[in-house]
Structure 1
Amino acid sequence: MLLFAQEVQMYDTGPAGTLNYSPRASVLYSQTNLAANGRPSQDFEVAYDAYDCFASDDFVVPAGDSWNIQTITAVGSGSPGPFNTVNVTFYYDAGGIPAAAPFASFIGIPASSNTGVITVTLTGGGVNLPSGHYWFSLQDAAPYGTYGQWFWTQNSVIYNSISCWKNPNNGFGTGATSWTPINAIWGDNTDFAFTLEGVVLVPCNYQIALYDSWGDGWNGGSVSVYVDGSVVLSNLTIPYGSGPDYYSFPVLTGSGISTVYTPGSWSYENSYQIIDAGGNVVYSVGNVSIPPGVLYGNCPTLGTLDGYVTNSAGLAIAGAIVGIPDLGISTTTGSNGYYFLDPVQSGDWDAQAFKQGYNVITHNVTIVAGGITSQDFVLTSPNLSVSPLRLDEIMAPNEYLTDYIG
């Protein structure tokens, strides 16, 4: 049994710095400037626990964004494979290295691998991250005795902080039993090669509705609304009457929603509801606060595309195919030329319409989460020119002629 911590040679059959897999449209982050070597990141069987090791790299969710990470592709190598079980853990940044403990873990989840390139879809809908600096680790967890050792390919360009590695039981003898920058272990000035895929979460508006059962207002009572610990609506009240009085506030999927209720006179008359973007009451409470960790935002990420397909004379074209190639979805127009494509991931996409005998027409469309985007297509026929316009042929009786032009 041989286990290696040193670099291993990678053989890339594609152009330098490229990968031999099809890109997806929903890439959130990618660093794939491939170096020639890799480092181990593996959860071994019990007999080899001393060699359990974690490689980790970081990424930044830009200010104002929130990501739902669904799929991770880590470029690697190993033999014989396949490496079809992995552990994925996410960490907050702690001054240029991962924090000691993960905040999200996906242990023993299935993956697919192609010559060492591991692709894994996170279970439970993935992980939602607001703007900030994060780290993740991906370990091969397939049995070493059967599938061999996996190495995460290094990235020749360092993005954000330099990659880190640890081997808690020091089986490799490096002394890196906690998170350590990789250049302090082996002198490698590299990151690791990976791609994150998912969706940029779109904010939506929630509402709070205030009620008073007696009809004389809240008599000095008030409520404030917090999203992820920050106040977004302060000291709301019903000055008079029974309500409901409505107030809107923005949230993202996964945002924590809480309230602080301050009682006034006759507070037992007071109540309020939290209403989601679809108009559904998701929380109803009397004269008390909603504590943190109870209620979370859930915004739609899907929309709809519809419209009509006609010819240049304005006549409906039935049976035309309308789709978004990057998403691999399509539909067909009805007898009146109308199409309805649902659901469609929110974002900017190139939509195409086509029918045999017509040119392919492309329009860029913006799909709004929870909404309908309308886009009509006018299909044109290909131009056909014949030259020469006259053919002279001498034919015998009952003779047929087929002549090909061009």
Structure 2
Amino acid sequence: MCKGKRDMSTLRAAAALTLAACLLTGCSNSTGTPTGSTAGTEFAIWDPYPQFDDSSDWVKLLTKCGTDAGVAVERTGYDTTDLTNKALLAAQQDNSPDVLIVDNPVVSTLADAGVLTTADELKVDTAAVSPNLLAAGQLGGKTYGIPIGANTLALYYNKKILDAAEVDPATIKDWASLTAALKKVKAAGKKGITFSAIGTEEGSFQFLPWFWGSGANLTQLDSPQGVAALELWTGWLKDGLAPNSVLNNTQTTSWQEFAAGDFAFSENGTWQLANAKKTGFEYGIIPVPSQAGGNAPAPTGGEFVTAPVQSDTGRYDTTEKLIACLTSADNAFTTDTTLSYIAATDAVQQKQVTENAELKVWVEAVQAAKGRTSDDLGTKYPKISQPLWTAFQASLSGSATPADALKAAQTTAAAATR
């Protein structure tokens, strides 16, 4: 499809949705100016890693992939939100980059706006990618791009606190055993669990393992299972097993509470591994348990490598070579190590565990994870997420019961997604 014929109102609407769909990141803003591909030997790549300069291994890989494909790569790094808006604008101007690397919830927004080619059109091989990770880039039965890797959530624990409370983390297999452990920690004079329940997408990201772990579905927020998940969080606050600060905690401030050494548990992500080593106390990691036992499906973070639509479709052969290079097993292993990601394929995941046994729990968590826009929710997800975080804020603050809060959320979400 020629970009000049796109429905521009769709592109503008998609841009508005993007801000709600993106999970907050720690990237700084880039001041670079995007440059489209202006000659047959130059291919533009835009990514959300402005923290990496030309001397970094990441940019060196991009350059090498270009050299191997016989072209010069012109790379620009943007902040995540800025990148998405720039991509939508570039599509309107028929000036899209050849390769676009974006946060996984944004893929459906761009696909819905007609910005991206499909994996089939580009002949990108996605066969080895874990289906649960690939689903975040699927919409209407089509796949748009390939994940470069993923991160997700698990529970960090303070070993000294659990030992003092006579809690064996290996016995925590479901909600009941976790809550029992929190009560033993409180009885021993320490604090239970900290997490982020802030009224933003970041809070929804942290609630989803419990919501999905109950068996609930985002299309029915007020199901008995969904109510049970919110009752769990609300009960923890009422019983003093979690602090009231969770209402305003970001994932960063929640981690800071845990790193101070008084909390037994912190729900947080793969990206905190380096910080965990700096806490000064012995720690461990267990998956977020589901209500009935086993690992809960936690949401996936991480980016997809995509190919925007080009008027000159003859460029696609080279674009496919660039994507194949960036996502090859060897390159994915190096990149995912740099980004603190778990790989998107089983073979590379096993290599990661062989190199670093500490990653085993994260591989298991990613294998059980799911994308926020999965289940073909696509651009409906942000319209559901906002009522969801409004609901848990209301329940945790005591202004509504879990059932009433989720009933109101379902009414709002249903009206927004019709």
Q: Is this a same-fold pair by TM over 0.5? A: no
Higher share in strand: 1
Q: Higher Cα Rg: structure 1 or 2? A: 1
State the TM-score bracket (shorter-chain normalisation). under 0.3
- The TM-score normalised by the length of structure 2 is 0.25
Higher share in helix: 2
- The TM-score normalised by the length of structure 1 is 0.26
Question: Greater relative contact order: 1 or 2 (C-alpha under 8 angstroms, separation 6 or more)?
Answer: 2
